[in-house]
Chains A and B, each alone.
Chain A
Amino acid sequence: MTAIIEALNLSRWYGNVLGISEVNLEIQPGITALLGPNGAGKSTFMKIITGQLKPNIGEVRILGEKVWNNRHIFRRLGFCPEVDAFYEELSGFEFLFFLLSLYGFTTAESRKKAELALELVELTEVKDRQIRSYSRGMRQRIKIAQAIAHNPEIIILDEPLNGLDPLSKRRIIKLIKEFKGEGKTIVVSSHILPEVEALTSEIVLIHQGKILARGDIYFIRELIDSHPHMIRIKSPHFRQLAKILAGEDYILNISFKPQENVVIFETHHRDRFFNRLNELILGSLVTIDEITSPDDNLQAVFDYLVGK
Chain B
Amino acid sequence: MRQEIWRVFSFYFFLRKKSPKTKAFFLLSWAAVLLALVIRVYNLTGNWTESGQVIFQNILMSFFLQFLIVILALFYGTSVVTEELDNKTLPYLSSRPLARAAIVIGKYLAYLTLTTLMLISAALLSYFILSLDRDFRLIDLWAGFRYSLVLTLGLAAYLSFFTFLGTWLKKPMMVGLAFGFGWESVIQYFPGSTQKLSIAHYLKSLLPQYTTSSGKLGFLFIRLEPSRPLVAAAVLFLIVIFFLILAALIFTYKEYLFED
Contact = CB atoms under 8 A, between A and B. Distances in A.
Interface of A: 14, 50-54, 69, 71-75, 77-79, 81, 83, 85-87, 89-90, 98-99, 101-104, 146
A146 B93 CA distance: 11
Nearest to B18: A89
A264 B87 CA distance: 47
A102 B255 contact: no
Chain A interface SS verdict (over half): loop
B99 A14 contact: no
A86 to B, nearest CB: 7
A74 B95 contact: yes
Nearest to B7: A102
B97 A103 contact: yes
Interface string B83-103: 000011111111111111000
B3 A54 contact: no
Nearest to A47: B91
> Max chain B CB contacts within 10 Å: which of A77, A86, A103, A104?
A104
Contacts of B252: 69
B11 A53 contact: no
Contacts of B11: 98, 101-102
Interface in B89-129: 89-100
28 contacts: A50-B91, A51-B94, A52-B90, A52-B94, A53-B257, A54-B255, A69-B252, A71-B97, A71-B99, A74-B95, A74-B96, A74-B97, A79-B91, A83-B88, A85-B88, A87-B87, A89-B15, A98-B14, A101-B7, A101-B10, A101-B11, A102-B93, A102-B96, A102-B97, A102-B98, A103-B96, A103-B97, A146-B92
A131 to B, nearest CB: 11
Contacts of A75: 97
Nearest to B94: A52
Nearest to A53: B255
Contacts of A146: 92
A85 B89 CA distance: 6
Nearest to B16: A89
A97 to B, nearest CB: 10
Nearest to B103: A102
Interface in B218-260: 252-253, 255, 257-258
A72 B97 contact: yes
Contacts of A104: 3, 7, 97
Interface size class of B (residues with CB under 8 A): 20 to 34
Nearest to A89: B19
A83 B258 contact: yes
B207 interface: no
Contacts of A14: 257
Nearest to B254: A54
Nearest to A84: B88
B8 interface: yes
Contacts of A99: 92, 96
B18 A71 contact: no
B250 to A, nearest CB: 13
Nearest to A95: B92
> Max chain B CB contacts within 10 Å: which of A72, A74, A102?
A102
B172 to A, nearest CB: 20
A222 to B, nearest CB: 35
Contacts of A90: 15
Interface string B195-214: 00000000000000000000
B96 A87 contact: no
Nearest to A105: B7
Nearest to A50: B95
A101 B106 CA distance: 14
Nearest to B258: A83
A241 to B, nearest CB: 45
B3 to A, nearest CB: 6
A102 B87 CA distance: 19
> Max chain B CB contacts within 10 Å: which of A71, A77, A79?
A71
B100 to A, nearest CB: 7
A279 to B, nearest CB: 47
Nearest to B83: A87
A86 B87 CA distance: 7
Contacts of A50: 91, 95
B15 to A, nearest CB: 6
Closest 10 A/B residue pairs (Cβ): A85-B88, A79-B95, A81-B91, A74-B97, A102-B96, A83-B88, A71-B97, A75-B97, A98-B11, A102-B7
A43 to B, nearest CB: 10
A103 B92 CA distance: 12
Contacts of B7: 101-102, 104
A69 B89 CA distance: 18
B167 to A, nearest CB: 15
Contacts of B95: 50-52, 74, 77-79
Contacts of B96: 71, 74, 99, 102-103
A77 B96 CA distance: 9
Contacts of B258: 83
B91 A52 contact: yes
Contacts of A54: 255
